[in-house]
Amino acid sequence: MPKPDAHALAELQLDLVRRWHRLDDPSLPHDEPGFAGAVLDQQRYNYWLWHEEDEARRTDVSDAEIARVKRAIDRYNQQRNDHIERLDEVLLSQLAAEGVEAAADARLHTETPGSAFDRLSIGALKLFHMEEEASRADAADEHRHKAAEKADRLRRQRRDLAEALDRLLSDLWSGRARLEIYRQFKMYNDPALNPALYRRG
């Protein structure tokens, strides 16, 4: 399995976000295999999470509806984090299958590739929605202009992040960097670790 191409995967994320919005159906499957498929599977949870976060800010619905939304946010966020770790697990398996061994002085990065792909995923959603704001017919010219400027900045951010991620992946594949998975340990979703839950059990 060749080293993943972060720029190509970032474009796949954005294409999928656009397709899901156009068809209003994030449950639609993709046809990407392997690691690319895992990246797009993770995109789905960020998509659902993004839209539930929008709903959580509404003031025209009942407290019961906001509670439902908050529980959905917790569920999607847990799944999102599980899939970040899944991306790193797949990469570790690929490195092992190709016999890549980290050098004795191989460096650790401040975040794992899975976390960086997650940031690209969120960036795809931000960019889509900012572009949407930049073309809103019912918005003032100033609003559209500011949104267009922000969209340009988001494009640069995603391009720079993909470039940095490609360098990290190259370092992993050459053994100059090493990958460790430390786990997120989301305590608030675990009834055995969240005191607000186990004290009422």
Q: What would the pLDDT profile of 111-160 be if each residue is shown by its tens digit? A: 999 999 999 999 999 999 999 999 999 999 999 999 999 999 999 999 99
Domain assignments of the chain as residue spans, ordered by start: 6-183
Which position has the higher pLDDT, 36 or 31? Answer: 36
User: Does 172 have pLDDT greater than 80?
Assistant: yes
Q: What is the DSSP letter of 108?
A: P
User: Does 19 have pLDDT greater than 90?
Assistant: yes
Which position has the higher pLDDT, 68 or 30? Answer: 68
pTM of the entire structure?
A: 0.90
CA distances from 201 to 59, 107, 185, 192, 196 (A): 32, 44, 21, 10, 9
Contacts of 126 (CB under 8 A, 6+ apart): 154
Contacts of 190 (CB under 8 A, 6+ apart): none
Q: What would the pLDDT profile of 173-189 be if each residue is shown by its tens digit? A: 999 999 998 877 677 77
Q: Would you state the pLDDT for residue 98? A: 94
Q: Would you state the pLDDT for residue 200? A: 75
